[in-house]
Amino acid sequence: MTQMNEPLLRVEDLTMMYGDRVGCKDVSFELRPGEVLGIVGESGSGKSTLLRSISAQQEPTKGKVEYQTRIDGVRDVYQMSEAQRRLLMRTDWAFVHQNPRDGLRMNVSAGANIGERLMAIGDRHYGNIRSNANSWLGKVEIASERLDDLPSTFSGGMQQRLQIARNLVTSPRLVFMDEPTGGLDVSVQARLLDLLRGLVHDLNLAVIIVTHDLAVARLLSHRLMVMQQGKVIEHGLTDQVLDDPQHPYTQLLVSSILQN
């Protein structure tokens, strides 16, 4: 059993090099169940690189990622067999991409998009899969009459909500998000953030969310990591980091937001 105070995820000295270029360097932190970690920093600072390296999508040059699995206890995700890792990635983990097209199957219906993970883990009852998909459609505030429609007939905001439903249907404990509100206009963003905040709270999800947007970070995350040139230069409780930034770069980042 996972204890509340035992970390769900432990990242140690993670470094990703692209040849001579630094992607991210010497990053270490822990994440507890239900905790939301924001990663902020300017373009090119290594946020996406770090997220991909943590989430087993890109093997890092150096360092370790350990995860508290449901069955086998703490496992180094890069030491698992590929089959185990892929199973973990589609059951206990979830990925919300900035572009919903990267996270959805555009050529099958919304219901099939949500049902896919259930079928992948062996659910073979059509009626159950469908009603489960329908109930998730409701949770992300999409009318159930859209269940059989293709995602391409959905608005950008709806596609993003569908992507979230498709990911959460297997009750994952850890969700990775890279700029989930990036391509949306402001009012659509606000609604999505509201929804995300509710789900994260209700389902006690641990989340690592990458964003440019300090307002998004403040709204969703408990803790904040600030990156610059591949390194974490400041790390603390979100309110502390934003209200009393210590590092000159973070001070600059916060003040530039306040001026807008």
Partner 1 sequence: MEQTVKNPADGAPDYNFAYLDEQTKRMIRRALLKAVAIPGYQVPFAGREMPMPYGWGTGGVQVTAAVIGPNDTLKVIDQGADDTTNAVSIRQFFAKTAQVATTEKTAEASIIQTRHRIPEKELREDQVLVYQVPIPEPLRFLVPRETETRKMHALEEYGLMHVKLYEDISRHGHIATTYAYPVMVDDRYVMDPSPTPKFDNPKMNNMAALQLFGAGREKRIYALPPYTKVKSLDFEDHPFEVQTWEDKCGMCGARDSYLDEVILDDQGNRMFVCSDTDYCAERQEAGHRGPQHHDQPLGSADRGKAAE
Residues that bind ligand ATP (CB under 6 A): 18, 21, 23, 41, 43-49, 212
* 121 counts as binding partner 1 under rule CB under 8 A: yes
- Integer Cα distance of 44 and 258 in angstroms: 22
Return the SS3 of 248. Answer: helix
Q: Do 218 and 238 form a contact (C-beta atoms < 8 A)?
A: yes
Residue 49 or 159 with smaller CB distance to ligand ATP: 49
Per-residue binding string, partner 1, 124-143, x by CB under 8 A, is xxxx-xx-------------
Return the SS3 of 181. Answer: coil
Per-residue binding string, Mg ion, 7-46, x by CB under 5 A, is ----------------------------------------
Residue 127 beta carbon to partner 1: minimum distance, rounded to whole angstroms = 5
Q: Do 92 and 55 form a contact (C-beta atoms < 8 A)?
A: no
Restricted to residues 19-78, the positions that interact with partner 1 (CB under 8 A) are: none
Residue 125 or 201 with smaller CB distance to partner 1: 125
182 φ/ψ angles, rounded to the nearest 5 degrees: -55, -50
| Residue 38 burial (C-beta neighbours within 10 Å; 0-12, 13-18, 19+) | buried
Q: Which of 15, 45, 48, 53 binds Mg ion (CB under 5 A)?
A: 48
CB atoms within 10 A of CB 62: 13
Residues near partner 1 (CB under 8 A): 82-83, 86, 105, 107-109, 111-112, 115-117, 119-121, 124-127, 129-130, 147-148
